[in-house]
Amino acid sequence: MNIAMIVAGGLGHRMGQDIPKQFINVFDKPIFIYTLEGFQKHPQIDKILVVCIDGWHDVVWAYAKQFGIDKLNWVISGGNSVQESIRNGVYHLEGMCDNDDIVIIHDGIRPLVDETVLSDVIIKCSQYGNAVTSLPYNEQIFVADDDVSTIEYIPRDKLRRVSTPQAYKFGKLNWAYHEAFEKEIGIYGASYTNTMMVELGERLYFAAGSDKNIKLTTKDDLEIFKLYLQSDKIGWLK
**Residue 61 pLDDT more than 90?**
yes
Q: Residue 27 CB: number of other CB atoms within 10 A?
A: 8
**Residue 220 pLDDT more than 50?**
yes
Dihedral angle at the C-alpha atoms of 213, 215, 221, 224, nearest 10 degrees? 10
Q: Is the dihedral of CA 63, 192, 168, 134 positive or negative?
A: positive
| pLDDT score recorded for residue 72 | 98
Which backbone phi and psi does 85 adopt, to 5 degrees? -65, -45
Closest CA to 36 of 58, 14, 65: 65
**Residue 18 pLDDT more than 80?**
no
| d(C-alpha 102, C-alpha 207), whole Å | 15
Give me the domains of the chain, ranges plus CATH numbers.
2-237 (3.90.550.10)
**Residue 238 pLDDT more than 60?**
no
